[in-house]
Amino acid sequence: MPTLAPPALPCSHELVLKVIPMPADSNANGDIFGGWVMAQVDLAGAVLPARYVRGRMATVAVKEFVFKQPVRVGDILSFFSHVTRIGRTSITVDVEVYAERMSQQGQYLKVTEAQLTYVAIDAEGRPRPVPVQS
């Protein structure tokens, strides 16, 4: 079976999540509800920061979602992430989302991208320093 590696996919980013939306995730038009995609981006975005934070963390900010293409029931969604900033208590990532249509597998359409910031928090929910990497 040949491996498909389209050049349009972001080589600088790590694949952190793949998911197929279901009919229950759709809006009144029959396409996928944007809020569902945003929730998946939040989950996917947390993967790389979790490696650094090693404990509780919370999403403090999400910068600009733009939906360039609809997401459809049955699309294979791929979420790619890249750490763009490690601060004192926070980590920011860039997440790009690509859809592979059921009828055009192996071809990827970029559907959205966002930058998310996660803060390491202590047991009381207050910011704590991101552990120094050894």
Ligand X SMILES: CC(C)(COP(=O)(O)OP(=O)(O)OC[C@H]1O[C@@H](n2cnc3c(N)ncnc32)[C@H](O)[C@@H]1OP(=O)(O)O)[C@@H](O)C(=O)NCCC(=O)NCCS
Non-local (6+) Cβ contacts of 30 within 8 A are: 73
Applying CB under 6 A, among 40, 81, 90, 112 the residue interacting with ligand X is 90
Window contacting ligand X (CB under 6 A); options: 9-17, 28-36, 96-104, 117-125? 117-125
Minimum distance, C-beta of residue 100 to ligand X, in the bound complex (Å): 29
Residue nearest to ligand X (CB): 87
Applying CB under 6 A, among 15, 60, 73, 83 the residue interacting with ligand X is 60
Contact 92, 85 (CB under 8 A): yes
Window contacting ligand X (CB under 6 A); options: 7-15, 17-25, 52-60, 72-80? 52-60
Backbone angles phi, psi at 76, to 5 degrees: -95, 115
By CB under 6 A, tell whether 119 contacts ligand X. Answer: yes
Rounded to an integer, what distance in angstroms lies between the CA atom of residue 46 and that of residue 13? 14
By C-beta, is 61 or 102 nearer to ligand X? 61
Minimum distance, C-beta of residue 11 to ligand X, in the bound complex (Å): 26
By CB under 6 A, tell whether 125 contacts ligand X. Answer: yes
C-alpha to C-alpha distances, 118 to 19, 46, 69, 89, nearest whole angstrom? 22, 7, 27, 9
- Beta strand extents in the chain (DSSP E only): 14-19, 57-63, 76-86, 90-100, 108-120
